Amino acid sequence: ILHRDVKPENCFFRCPGGTLLLGDFGISCDLDEHHLAKTCCGSPLYLSPEMVNQEPYAYASDVWSFGITLYEMAQLVPPFKGANICQVAFRIVSASPAPLDPCFSASLGALLDRLLKKEALLRATLDEALQSEPLAEAAAAVAAQHGLRREPPTGDSSSGLVERLRRTMPSHCQEEYADDFEEDESDYGDDFEEASGSDISYAPDFEADSDDGIDPTPELSEEDLRQQIAAELGEEAMSIAESLGVVNFLETLQRNRR
């Protein structure tokens, strides 16, 4: 299962101090190692670079969101923030997270570096993360509690590399990812959660019921949108944003609103 909306708000305790569970699978999809998803969906602060770049994606996208969540647990703020979605998207694909507070272990910093690689191919897998410090001991205890057997790392990552190459394969090399394996696309609209309890909206597709502090992007023509992006980022950053696919990403969101 590809969750597509891993974030703190979707993590729930059974009871105070009890088991932590991942919930809200409303925009998840079935996926196997031979297929990729293509629908851009989720919550802005937790979108992976490949989603922002509108590339086909797989489990590495959830790993990125997990890394953002883990960073936020430590620092109490997500690593890539901005006044609006334009700034957030630009920072996701181009900026580096601020260093962790010195009170945290070097192993946590090293793990976050592996989880937040911009290139999905270079990102740690979830299995690798759960067998790395500081998560290994807790993950092993949970696996034992549920009778799960985890194979220790062998040091030979060739099979993992093949899997990562497959799941990050360009769209022209991959034929089957048309509907993200959803039986009824209309059930999800554009695969984004509808905003609830808030008047703020990034676009009809984005969640907006959190305290992200991101201003919505008004409905504009594509020319006006480009002018606004240039005003927000500056001409030099605008050129970088175009090369990274951020401008195309925002234009696509704008078209989806019409």
Q: Which residue has the tokens 């994606």?
A: 57
Per the model's pLDDT, the better-predicted residue between 185 and 96 turns out to be 96
| Alpha carbon distance 9, 14 (integer Å) | 14
> Confidence class of residue 128 from pLDDT cuts 50, 70 and 90?
very high
Per-residue confidence (pLDDT) for residue 152, from 0 to 100: 64
**First-to-last CA distance in the chain?**
31
**CB-based contact 113:49 (threshold 8 Å):** no
Domain spans, the chain: 8-218
Mean pLDDT to the nearest integer, 107-132: 96
Per-residue confidence (pLDDT) for residue 189, from 0 to 100: 36
- Taking CA atoms, 103 is separated from 30, 99, 216, 232, in Å, by 39, 11, 35, 35
Q: Give tens-digit pLDDT for 38-54.
A: 988 999 999 999 999 99
> Confidence class of residue 258 from pLDDT cuts 50, 70 and 90?
low
For the chain, percent helix, then strand, then coil, each to nearest 5? Answer: 45, 5, 50
Quick check: 26 pLDDT over 50? yes
Q: Which residues are catalytic?
A: 5
| Alpha carbon distance 211, 232 (integer Å) | 21
| Alpha carbon distance 3, 159 (integer Å) | 23
| Alpha carbon distance 58, 1 (integer Å) | 10
Quick check: 110 pLDDT over 90? yes
Per-residue confidence (pLDDT) for residue 153, from 0 to 100: 58
Quick check: 220 pLDDT over 90? no
Quick check: 186 pLDDT over 70? no
CATH number for the domain formed by residue range(s) 8-218: 1.10.510.10
> Confidence class of residue 142 from pLDDT cuts 50, 70 and 90?
confident
Average pLDDT, the chain: 76
Quick check: 248 pLDDT over 80? no
Per the model's pLDDT, the better-predicted residue between 21 and 175 turns out to be 21
Helix H or strand E encompassing 13: strand 11-13
Per-residue confidence (pLDDT) for residue 243, from 0 to 100: 67
CA-closest candidate to residue 109, choices 77, 70, 81: 70
Mean pLDDT to the nearest integer, 229-251: 69
Q: Give tens-digit pLDDT for 158-178.
A: 344 444 444 444 444 443 443
Portion of the chain with pLDDT greater than 70, in percent: 63
